[in-house]
Amino acid sequence: MNLFSVRAGLDIPFLFIILVLVSIGLVMLFSSSYAYAYHNYDGDSFYFIKRQAIFAVLGIAGMIAISYFDYHHFHKLTIPIFDYFVAFTWCCVGTSCRSGRT
């Protein structure tokens, strides 16, 4: 089985790029927030990076799980999904338009 084929479901180079970008983001988060976290969260300088790492792992696990799902199953749901998002957008735009009135 070729991991780079469309049927494999997992694109290894793309996964590698995502892991590198997430790692760089976690390092940048730690370097920019460790002093603040140390002083404001009872000496836990890893406060923000622990929380972000949990969500990063959940996101990557979700990305891997979704990559094995056949997206052609969504074909039957395109019109209801489109209608839902049009209605949701209309509600948001209508709310923001009315909020400017006095």
Chain Cα centroid distance, residue 5:
24
- pTM of the complete model: 0.64
End-to-end CA distance of the chain: 64
Over the stretch 30-41, which tens digit does the pLDDT of each residue have? 999 999 999 998
Percent of the chain with pLDDT over 70: 83
Q: What is the largest CA-CA distance in the chain?
A: 64
pLDDT tens digits, one per residue of 82-92: 999 999 998 88
Rounded to whole angstroms, the Cα distance separating 30 from 34 reads: 6
Say what the pLDDT of residue 53 is.
94
- On whether the CB atoms of residues 56 and 26 are closer than 8 A, the answer is yes
* CA gap 69, 46 in Å, rounded: 35
Contact by Cβ (8 Å): 47, 41: yes
